[in-house]
Amino acid sequence: MVRVLFVCLGNICRSPISQGVFEEVVRREGLSGEIEADSAGTHGFYHAGEPPDPRAQRSAMERGIDLSGQRARLLSREDCERFDYVLTMDEENYERVAALCRSGEGGAVIRPFLDFAPTVRSARSPTLSTAAPTASSWSWTWPRRPRRGSWRTSEGGTPYPALAEEALAGG
């Protein structure tokens, strides 16, 4: 059994959507008995026990994916050993997961989620209201125009909208 964990900040939007889409792909490919998926949050205690955000559920349901059975939870050290792969939704979560899991030898492989989305060139995460993965293409839909104030700049000072535009342009 291969176990995959999707991790974001609060475990109410990006990681539950990713888990739901992944589970749909696994089901569609006939691999349900071979691959298990779950999700957690690096700050999951804020929403522990809550279902995914209604906007996330609505976005997923529009694509035929039901997230209503999922509940938010906090990432734990045990996850580092229990899962084969831990896929993070952004750089901050990658750093938190890597710090939590680094002491364990032979534990999970920790990778940014977008390493598996070759058509998206930025590891910056899209906003909840404008992005949703699709089970048919396993890709993110990036916004053409970000909402005012919804994007910050990267550590290098590049505005996130410019990174998204670059990803959209393929360059």
The predicted model gives 98-120 an average pLDDT of 80
Residue 126: what residue type?
A: P
Number of domains in the chain: 1
Structure confidence at residue 102 as a pLDDT band (50, 70, 90) = confident
pTM higher than the cut 0.75 = no
Instruction: Please give the pLDDT value at position 92.
Output: 93
Residue 141: what residue type?
A: T
Instruction: Please give the pLDDT value at position 150.
Output: 36
Task: Kindly list the distances between the CA atom of residue 48 and the CA atoms of 9, 59, 66, 92, 148, in Å, as whole numbers in the listed order.
Answer: 12, 21, 19, 20, 30
Instruction: Please give the pLDDT value at position 61.
Output: 94
Range of the domain at 38: 2-169
Q: Residue 144's domain is classified under what CATH number? A: 3.40.50.2300
Instruction: Please give the pLDDT value at position 120.
Output: 66
The predicted model gives 135-154 an average pLDDT of 37
Instruction: Please give the pLDDT value at position 149.
Output: 36
Residue-averaged pLDDT of the chain:
76
How would DSSP label each residue in 78-143? HHHHH-SEEEESSHHHHHHHHHHHTT-TT--EEEEGGGG-TT----PPPPTTT----TTT------
Structure confidence at residue 117 as a pLDDT band (50, 70, 90) = confident
